[in-house]
Amino acid sequence: MDYINIALAKGRLADKAYIMLKKAGLGDCIDPNSRKLIFKDDSKKISFIYVKPSDVVTYVQNGVADLGVAGKDVILESDSDVYEILDLGFGKCKFAVAGLKGEKIYKKDEVLRVATKYPKVSKRFFAEKEQRIKLIKLNGSVELAPLVGLSDVIVDLVETGNTLKVNGLEIIEDMFEVSAKLICNRVSYRFKYDRISKLLDKLKRLEGQCCEDN
Ligand code: PRP
């Protein structure tokens, strides 16, 4: 029997994904305190790889992983061609436009400077609103940009809102909610359908039991 390979994101979603897999009886081979990147369960024929959140989709799309756990944020930003087969109900947060108090995000005939880790998401959002923008791609600590005059606003994830608050920023407009999704390679879905649907059933049975956000 072939292995089912699952890509898991390091960071924000890692602990909750691990708890979910343990509850489903699938994560016994994972040592969450280890820096190992591959864990294999030979008896269940499942393996797990730990990768950067934005790389989960790449591994799944290329078929190296059959399944992956990724935030909707990185899925949208990747423009990927994978199936989203389950909303896992954790990692809930939202995309928002934020800036200094009183900042306007719609400036007729003016270009709005937008700093973000998510250029594609930002571009689509403002294109729909017909607001011209200049994108400033950053890799983190995006909240700094309006404070030092690099941008007018930011497009970023907001979870507790603490990062915005301590930096004197506020939400100007909510964009949409995001959460963790189980994604699947399209070819794997056809050729490993039986095993994937059994695994899916196990995860669905957990719904509301262990992995929801506090
Ligand atoms: C994320 C996000 C915000 C922050 C939001 O950043 O980009 O900065 O978390 O969380 P909060 O609303 O609970 O404060 P992350 O921690 O990934 O760091 P980074 O921006 O430096 O990548």
C-alpha 106 to ligand 1 mean position (Å): 24
* Distance between CA atoms of residues 164 and 2, nearest Å: 46
Best of 157, 175, 177, 178 to mutate for ligand 1, by most ligand atoms within 8 A of CB?
157
Tokens of 140: 């983190």
**Nearest atom of ligand 1 to the alpha carbon of 164:** 14
Residue 152 structural domain: 93-177
* Residue 4 Cα to ligand 1 middle (Å): 32
d(CA 152, CA 146): 5
71 CB-contact burial (10 Å; exposed 0-12 / middle 13-18 / buried 19+): buried
Summarize pLDDT for 67-85 with one digit per residue, the tens.
999 999 999 999 889 999 9
Model confidence pLDDT, tens digit, residues 113-163: 999 999 999 999 999 999 999 999 999 999 999 999 999 999 999 999 999
* Domain identity same for 78 and 150: no
Number of independent structural domains in the chain: 2
For residue 134, what pLDDT is reported?
Answer: 98
- Note whether residue 209 is domain-resident: no
What CATH number has the domain bearing residue 83? 3.40.190.10
CA dist., res. 195 & res. 2, Å (int): 10
Q: Does one domain contain both 85 and 97?
A: no
Q: Which of 158, 160, 167, 214 to mutate to test the pocket of ligand 1 (most atoms within 8 A of CB)?
A: 158
Cα separation, 177 vs 36, whole angstroms: 32
- Predicted local confidence at residue 210, as pLDDT: 55
Residues 114 and 72 both lie in one domain = no
| Domain co-membership, 102 together with 167 | yes
Which pLDDT belongs to residue 7?
98
Residues 172 and 145 in one domain: yes
Evaluate if residue 214 carries a pLDDT over 60.
no
Please indicate, yes or no, if residue 211 is contained in any of the structural domains. no
Q: Which residues pair with 137 in a beta bridge?
A: 116
Please tell me the distance between residue 164's alpha carbon and the centre of ligand 1 in angstroms.
9
Q: What pTM does this model have?
A: 0.90
> For residue 82, what are the CA distances in angstroms to 28, 46, 99, 121, 188?
27, 20, 33, 17, 10
Structure confidence at residue 37 (pLDDT): 96
84 and 143 in a common domain: no
